[in-house]
Amino acid sequence: MLRLARRASLLGLLMAVVIQGNAMAATVNVSMTNFVFTPKNAPVLIGGTIHWTNDSTSSHTSTGDSPLSLWDSGSVGPGGTFDFVFTAGGQYKYHCTFHQSLGMVGTISVKIKASPPSGPAGTKFNVTVATINAPPGFVYDIQRKDPGGSFTNWMLNVTAKTVQWDSTGFAPGTYSFRSRLHNTTNGSTSTYSAGKAVMVT
């Protein structure tokens, strides 16, 4: 019970600010059946909600993998539901604590945003990796990929939800950004999000 209370507190820190501001954010439905999550890999934009529904005759959980362990639904009985708002870009692995050994696992892929989508050299692109500034004990790590290159560290230990990339002096081409959530207390992280591309024309 204490463990659940601690997770609820963390959930409150991460989510309370955005529940009202993102009431219209997209909701993605995930079904709990015997013994899989469908879809197994669910994409959602930052600020979006994953809505789990137990469509089986057994109880299940939706539990974020440790050590990041962002959420834990507790036991969700047949017909029950559980919602979680994802505020930060990244890929989050999770499982059913009752049936993980049977392969009941999944991934939530939280997409980041970048604007404008294109512009000439000198354009300042806003890269939004979260819907809230990082709460205490967390930061965002951001990588950039230049045309023809691979992702490399660009801005680490960021606390702002949006950062700016000034493309002055950069060659035309497609540049991509991706981010992850980083717990500075225990060093755990999500996996990096999918890349979000912008074009320097």
Q: Residues 72, 88: one domain?
A: yes
Q: Are residues 192 and 105 located together in one domain of the fold?
A: no
> How many separate domains does the chain show?
2
pLDDT for the residue numbered 75? 98
Given this model, what pLDDT does residue 9 score?
38
In the numeric block, the tokens 């023809």 are attached to 148
- Give the pLDDT score at 111: 97
Question: Do 73 and 128 lie in a common domain?
Answer: no
- Tens-digit pLDDT string for the chain (201 aa): 334 333 443 444 444 333 333 444 699 999 999 899 999 999 999 999 999 999 999 999 999 999 999 999 999 999 999 999 999 999 999 999 999 999 999 999 999 999 999 999 999 999 999 999 999 999 999 999 999 999 999 999 999 999 999 999 999 999 999 999 999 999 999 999 999 999 999
Out of 110, 133, 156, pick the residue that ends a domain: 110
State which of 75, 110, 145 marks the end of a domain. Answer: 110
Q: Which domain holds residue 121?
A: 113-200
Phi, psi (rounded to 5 degrees) for 23 = -60, -25
CB 121 within 8 A of CB 166: no
**Confidence (pLDDT) at 143:** 98
- pLDDT reported for residue 25: 62
Instruction: Based on the fold, state whether residues 151 and 194 are members of the same structural domain.
Output: yes
**Would you state the pLDDT for residue 20?**
36
CATH number for the domain spanning 149: value is 2.60.40.10
Query: How is 163-201 classified by DSSP, letter by letter?
Result: EEEE-TTPPSEEEEEEEEEEETTT--BPBPPPPEEEEE-
Q: Is 12 found in the same domain as 83? A: yes
